[in-house]
Amino acid sequence: MRPLDPLTLPLDGRRLLEASAGTGKTYTLALLFVRLLLERGLAIDQILVVTFTRAATAELRDRIRTRLREALDVLHGRRDADPLLLRLLTALPAARSRQRLEDALVRMDEAAIHTIHGFCQRILRDHAFESSLPFDLELRESEAALVQEVLEDFWRTHLYPASEEEAAWALATWGGPAGLLKGLGKALTALRCDLIPQVEDAEVASLAARARDVFAQVREAWERQRAQVACLLEQDSSLLRNQNAYRHDQVTGLLAAMDGLAAGPVMPYLLPRIVARMAASVMATLVKKKSAGPPEHPFFALFDTFVQDHGRFLRCRTIQVLTTARTFVHQERSRRKRAQGWLAFDDLLTRLAEALEQPGSGGQLADRVAARYPAALVDEFQDTDPVQYQVFSRIYRQERPAGTALFLIGDPKQAIYSFRGADIFTYIRARRETVPENRYTMGTNYRSTPAMVGAVNALFGCRRDAFVFTEDIDFQPVQAATEARAEPLLLDGEPAPPLIGLLLDSERLKSTRSTTISKDKALRAAVTVCSNTIVGLLDQARLGQATIGGQALQTSDIAILVRSHREAEAMQAGLRRRGVNSLASSQASVFASEEARQLALVLAALVDPGDPARIRTSLATDLFGCNAGQLHALNSDERAWEIRLADVHRYRQLWQEQGIMPMLQQLLAQEAVTRRLSARVGGERSLTNFLHLAELLQQSPAGRHGMAALLRWFRQQIDHPDNTAADQLIRLENDEQLIRIVTIHRAKGLEFPVVFLPFPWAGRGLDADQPLSFHERDSLGLTLDLGTGQEEHQRWAEQEQLAEELRLLYVAVTRAKSCCLFCWGRVNGLERSGLAYLLHRARCPESDAQLCQELEQLGGAQPLVGLRPFPERFGHHRFQSDIDLPMPQPRLFRGRVVPGWTITSYSRLASGSDAALETDRDEPAMAPSEEAASGCSPFTFPRGAASGTCLHTLLQRLECNHPVEGQQQLVAEVLEQGGIEARWQATAVRWLDAVLAVELPGACSLNQVPVRDRINELGFLFPLEKVDLRRFNRLLDGAGLRPLTTPVTSLQGLMKGFIDLVFRFQGRYWIVDYKSNHLGPSLAHYTPEALAECMDSHQYHLQALVYTLALHRFLDARIADYRYEQHVGGVYYLFLRAMDPAHPPGSGVHAFRPDAALIEALDDCCRGGAGR
């Protein structure tokens, strides 16, 4: 590649600029921008600058503005210029340059500096006819929630109705929709990829049939030959020698497993692991090599055939599910986005790419864009993907006439964002398609000390294939700038080595059974070693023995780079134990934090303030801060409980009236959250997360649809956090000058005098839960292998994973300006790490001595690595900072307990979530102006949970056999408690009198039911004994009702609920459920069809079945000769707003009587019966 001179670089054609770390990429880009303005005479809005993040866009805009201002100041004689800028300005007419620079600065807001998505959006909207993009289209940054929703629908429609065996296999394979999403991996996120192998449905069916046929033979043979097989297993000498696999107790277990397998009526999808030992091929591998061989018997060969055929079938079925799911998601997410009127950011890319490829119009669009932007500078080009490259290649095609320029600027050694869709192989394609004379390299490092530059050169120059793909990504050594800006780290007056290895002693850390250190032990040891080393450096700095540039080393000079949130937490805890404060930023979503879980609990209490359990749970969170003693005291202190209830209702009202953000701000202030959290370790972190979550909740469009909708959205984000969404990433808790703990991905573009790498030995292997991902070596296209079993594909995927490890290592090491300290030792899996690939030829040294020897060889005659041995003992000295640290925080359990036994209810069953809330208790309140305009009537009575609760309370407490008019005091009290204005009292009195007077079909009116024949709020709690939800759904389906959507297949625990009213009339028992749902402003909106639609949409029929089953069990336990047909009348759903004796008979009443056979079957199902 040619060395780059930014002043002589031709300003036309396609140019590829490779900028190693610290070589001034942004400086060069800004200088090229100035040249295009002054030499080419382009206007500021004719130069397109594209990068990949909003933060980078803002930085580029600022740097370009600064460079333009600097050039103008030089021309006015107000400042000195750097040599390159001075050379440029001296060679051009000063007056013309001044005019162009002044014009550019005035029009800086018009500069075409965009993210890639911003650029695509502008082009699509400016050329809406060619792109067919609606002007009012909503744009969303992420479509993760939609993809999860679609996958859940796929699971319900394709896997939930499957046979019990197949459903159990699907759950064991993926665990649910979230696991299936992970299993698909890049098949969903990559904008372009091929899936192999292709499996036809007929092939899967054929394999399934063959496996079932062989299984039938296995069952038959086992019945005839079991005794012979058992005798061989228990007496064969070759098997008896293998006590690991064929001990007596294991043979007993093997025989029992085979008995269970053969007794099954159908071929199982999941085989007990132990039965594989019955297969001839497995037996041959398990017996001792020196024995005569395994016993021979036809059954072993037959079972071997079954295991092979069964495995082939499941592999093909897995591929079939994944490919079908991918097709379903692609089609459904496109359809739903069209229906809902929005696009994701990546859709902008694909839309523009498609528009550019249209015959005729695509070429015209490309010509217009090129004419509008004759020059384009694409920054961070190593993070491109195939669609982005296609867009720029189409616009700035190489055969375009002179005058257009495309500068592709990046560093392939720093391509580390593959998890976001960045594709290093697209960069490789662009490099190959750029003629060699148009490829340039930037060879001077202005960031680091000469020693640090030399260390990086030595480390990555020790192998020709340092970045694996030698022909396309070669390492070019760089030189240090003549006048380096960075100063070395001096320890006791002497320069510290640029690389310092903090050694982990394998002899002391490994277990007796292992030759290497386990990863868990290595992590703990690395945390301790790094923390102690940092404390030692800071102590030296206080004594003037650790300096940089004549100044004592500061905490803000130190950064610790990690790969994961877990590593960051471990390092922060280790530093905290030694008295050192730090700031941690990671690649984790704030929705995955403990604070998100706690805030969801608080919001759930505000959405449903009638549930005391939710309120008590919310009080235990950090936002309310009640301890166990205070919570216990609320049980006996009624006044304190009423105060807390009032607080909850006040916050709820504030949320309803002003929104989520004002409510949370008031809660933080009134509950003294800031003061309480600031007084404990990690409190700033928690407070920052709470404020961050409040912002995201305020911005969510779900908030427009009510409180419950916003809570559902929030829980969806918690269940499926998006670690790639920039607005979700955990923020730094403050900007104090403290040690920074940063993920390598977030550290890219940053620089620090001293960098610690505690875990460079933790190489990542391939993710077994995801398809093999690799690129064809000729076409460079992304391919996902779902299960071909080809070793070449495995090798390519491992090769690409190693290349990514090396690029991450390069980014990490080059963040250091003066010194990089890294923990190193013989850790399990070391050979997969990038550093081991460079230092030890991708292997783990046989001894610590050999490891040290190979480290010391780096740099040859001038060793570049200083080694610090593992301490003989660790002291407990704490760093004495100027900041008083609070008492240590206790450890928190942040895991999730999956209950095998639960208390559930109708609403939770209906939604498939423990978070479900009945929607009729949370309708949006009607605006006061709307109410006033409509007059006071049942149809305009206030909506919402408070109103619904008031009506239910009144219908329970009123003496229904007496006119309501004589009970106005009670009505007034209940309405006042619910926050209903007094002007509604008269309406409520007349309305309730009317409701109680309506005659119910087949029974009587409620005001005719004597007190002795009614039970208000009948609570029930009945057991659920291993309920098979598949059978439950079949029963619902057979009754013409909508099945449940929960992803689980069984349920055990208790069913809980409260029936509004049970009354007796003429020896039969009836269930009544009051519904205050607002279906419309007049009686015409409460037709029988409208009521039936409401019943279906809310799954009230399911509620009716649960209530009827509860009543069925209740009566069966109390009536000696109980018969369902004789004693149960049915269920009335009373839609109160439409009930009035003056209305046509049956208005507002939906009657439902489940069939006796259905109730009996549901009763059996809930008792654990298998049914038919």
> What's residue 290's pLDDT?
54
Q: What is the mean pLDDT of residues 969-993?
A: 89
Q: What is the mean pLDDT of residues 499-504?
A: 95
> What's residue 88's pLDDT?
93
Does 558 score more than 90 pLDDT?
yes
| Structure confidence at residue 925 as a pLDDT band (50, 70, 90) | very low
Q: What is the 3-state secondary structure (H, E, C) of 244-268?
A: CCCCHHHHHHHHHHHHHHHHCCCCC
Q: Is 1172 helix (H, G, I), strand (E, B) or coil?
A: coil
Nearest to 743 by CA among 559, 581, 575: 559
> What's residue 976's pLDDT?
85
| Structure confidence at residue 723 as a pLDDT band (50, 70, 90) | confident
Phi/psi-derived region of residue 725, left when phi > 0, alpha when psi is between -120 and 50, beta in every other case: beta
Q: 179-193, 312-326, 534-548: which has the minimum mean pLDDT?
A: 179-193
Range(s) for CATH 3.40.50.300 in the chain?
Answer: 2-138+345-446, 495-587+734-767+818-868
Can you tell me the distance from the alpha carbon of 157 to that of 151, in angstroms, rounded to the nearest whole number? 10
State the catalytic residue, choosing from 109, 1073, 1116, 1164.
1073
CATH of 902-1166, one of 3.50.50.60, 3.90.180.10, 3.30.360.10, 3.90.320.10: 3.90.320.10
Binding positions are 19-26
> What's residue 902's pLDDT?
76
Higher-confidence position of 376 and 137: 376
Does 988 score more than 60 pLDDT?
yes
Residue 45 is among the residues annotated as catalytic for this protein: no
Residue 699, judged by CB atoms within 10 A of its CB (0-12, 13-18, 19+), counts as exposed
Range(s) for CATH 1.10.486.10 in the chain?
Answer: 590-721
Q: Give the CATH H-level superfamily of domain 2-138+345-446.
A: P-loop containing nucleotide triphosphate hydrolases (3.40.50.300)
Helix axes 298-340, 177-184, angle to 10 degrees: 90
Q: What is the mean pLDDT of residues 138-159?
A: 88
Mean pLDDT over each residue of the chain, to the nearest integer: 88
Give the best-scoring range by mean pLDDT among 159-163, 180-184, 487-491: 487-491
Q: Which amino acid is at 1087?
A: T
Number of other CB atoms surrounding residue 823 within 10 Å: 27
Can you tell me the distance from the alpha carbon of 448 to that of 450, in angstroms, rounded to the nearest whole number? 6
Can you tell me the distance from the alpha carbon of 542 to that of 613, in angstroms, rounded to the nearest whole number? 54
Q: What is the mean pLDDT of residues 68-73?
A: 94
Does 585 score more than 90 pLDDT?
no
Omega before 495 within 30 of 0, i.e. cis: no
Can you tell me the distance from the alpha carbon of 241 to that of 1012, in angstroms, rounded to the nearest whole number? 79
| Cα distances (Å, whole numbers) of residue 869 to 414, 495, 506, 825 | 31, 19, 11, 10
| Cα distances (Å, whole numbers) of residue 14 to 9, 375, 381 | 11, 10, 13
Asked if residues 666 and 651 have their Cβ atoms less than 8 Å apart, the reply is yes
Nearest to 411 by CA among 26, 751, 774: 26
Number of other CB atoms surrounding residue 916 within 10 Å: 17
Asked if residues 726 and 420 have their Cβ atoms less than 8 Å apart, the reply is no
CATH of 495-587+734-767+818-868, one of 3.90.700.10, 3.30.540.10, 3.20.20.330, 3.40.50.300: 3.40.50.300
Can you tell me the distance from the alpha carbon of 454 to that of 477, in angstroms, rounded to the nearest whole number? 9
Q: Give the single-character DSSP code of 303.
A: H
Can you tell me the distance from the alpha carbon of 627 to that of 644, in angstroms, rounded to the nearest whole number? 14
Domain 590-721, what fold? Answer: PCRA; domain 4 (1.10.486)
Nearest to 379 by CA among 12, 751, 47: 47
Binding positions for ATP are 19-26
CA neighbours closer than 13 Å in the CB half-sphere of residue 880? 5
| Structure confidence at residue 914 as a pLDDT band (50, 70, 90) | very low
